[in-house]
Structure 1
């Protein structure tokens, strides 16, 4: 169900500042964005809107807030140590732009490696455009909200973690039942801003945390799961 804009009137100015509006106009003029339909997700760091492109195809538009302290407080550890962002000026707005660029680049790596992720379409400043996962502008359910999960689903998710690690050279670094859609019998991983390259100094610790989160969720739902060491061995093999 769409979250109506009227329910978030207090955030409109925060989201659509002048620079963001100009960025959206640029994407509209290029045909990347056609029409906004409504908010589908509202967090401390970003809003995600259901929209269409210029041909009426459904897309998701993620707008990162440029006036939030959340990035500097909690996200710098995922940018520092990433060679793709060495030498970047770390003013607040630049951090947000870098975060949007990082999510786009991570999605591109994952998608091109064959992982189940939203297809990235375009990133401009703090605006990220990607494939919409769901039907009729309603997002697909996330793993947490499914009435039943199975051992097969657990193995499906673990395989995606393996594809990210082995083929894309990525670790999601914040994986849980809250950022995995289950759509058309497939787990689709999202929220890749914090994902790191496997060469990142903390990549192994993040990988252990990701797999532990997945194991814990399925185990608590009564599913037979692999132990952590066996799951890690599978992902890295």
Structure 2
């Protein structure tokens, strides 16, 4: 098929279909229907989810939530939108009726705590961390809040930090009506080539303006919202002066290139990307 005809066919397909992260194309109407079904499913669970907060988390965590409510940070907690090994993320509403995300770290997950130290040690912001299980989790929560502050100040597309208390982090909600924006691993961008360059630009902002390396950047920690990349889960992110920053930046770039290569993007050499992200070269060829 001639290139021009192939391009026209692709454009026609993009008008009526959307590409999933595994390369499959589905009708946009079907994709919208799936999103609505997911929203309905989540709404039916929320009352039940809220009731079990006290069962899942300890008294100090419940007290921390109460304090954030009394401070006017949280008005309502509607229910769980993500439950992982390290934390639960809840959809909530603030006193101005804005949607917020409330991330609550578990204080009892031993394996998770063991992995924290290497990302906290050597960070000049956390020289006097209590090495108790709870002390590490509290420091981890504060670290994510501070990293989000740096990202926001640098203009990086990421959730906006609102407040934190103990093991509870409150930030802006990325999504609409309680339905979070899809992850890059769930659905591919409509224009992978453009999205790839946008994501590299975000990584550069994070490095040159925020002074931070994400450290775990992949399709699992990037959302698509209005065809823009949103970088989240920055608790492990390191200041660029940290001894681990260099190897983790290389890994981040490798992860990005591997993902977009699967989508057929003609990715740029990782070493060249690294120089550009660091501000050591002006252009990406």
Please classify the TM superposition score into its range, dividing by the shorter chain length: over 0.9
Residue 28 (structure 2) aligns with: none
| Contact persistence 1:15–1:63 (CA under 8 A) | no
Query: Is 1:45 matched up with 2:86?
Result: yes
Q: CA offset at residue 184 of structure 1? A: 1.4
Which residue of structure 2 aligns with residue 177 of structure 1?
A: 219
Q: TM-score, normalised by structure 2?
A: 0.79
Question: What CA deviation, in whole Å up to 9, does each residue of 1:120-179 have, x standing for no partner?
Answer: 000111000000000111000111112445111111111111000000000000000011
Give the direction of change, closer, same or farther, for the CA distance of 1:85–1:15 in structure 2 (3 Å limit).
Answer: farther
2:159 to 103, 118, 125: 118
Residue 104 of structure 2 corresponds to residue 104 of structure 1: no
Cα deviation code 1:172-196 (max 9, x no counterpart): 0000001111101210100010000
- Across the aligned residues of Structure 1 and Structure 2, the Cα RMSD in angstroms comes to 1.8
Give the superposition deviation at 1:87.
2.0
Following the alignment from structure 1 to structure 2, what is the Cα–Cα distance between the partners of residues 6 and 37?
Answer: 7
| 2:216–2:236 Cα contact (<8 Å) kept | yes
From 139, 146, 168, the equivalent of 2:187 is 146
Go from structure 1 to structure 2 and tell me whether the alpha carbon gap of 1:151 and 1:64 turns closer, same or farther (over 3 Å shift): same
Q: Helix, strand or coil for the counterpart of 2:89?
A: strand
The aligned residue for residue 127 of structure 1 is: 168
Between the aligned partners of 1:109 and 1:100, the Cα distance in structure 2 is: 15
Q: How many residues are aligned here?
A: 237
For 2:235, the equivalent position in structure 1 comes to: 193
Match of 1:202 among 221, 236, 244: 244
- Cα 1:114–1:84 change in 2 (3 A) is same
After superposition, residues 10-25 of structure 1 pair within 5 angstroms as: 12-13=53-54, 15-25=56-66
Q: Which runs of 5+ in 1 are unaligned?
A: none
* Cα distance in 1 between the residues matched to 2:239 and 2:188: 34
Structure 1: distance between partners of 2:218 and 2:133: 27
Match of 1:157 among 165, 190, 199: 199
Match of 2:69 in 1: 28
Q: Residue 258 of structure 2 corresponds to which residue in structure 1?
A: 216
Quote the Cα distance in structure 1 between the aligned partners of 2:54 and 2:70. Answer: 22
Q: 1:53 offset after TM fit, Å?
A: 0.5
SS at match of 1:106: helix
The answer to whether the Cα contact below 8 Å between 1:52 and 1:58 also exists between their aligned partners in 2 is yes
Counterpart among 94, 100, 108 of residue 59 in structure 1:
100
CA offset at residue 70 of structure 1?
A: 2.8
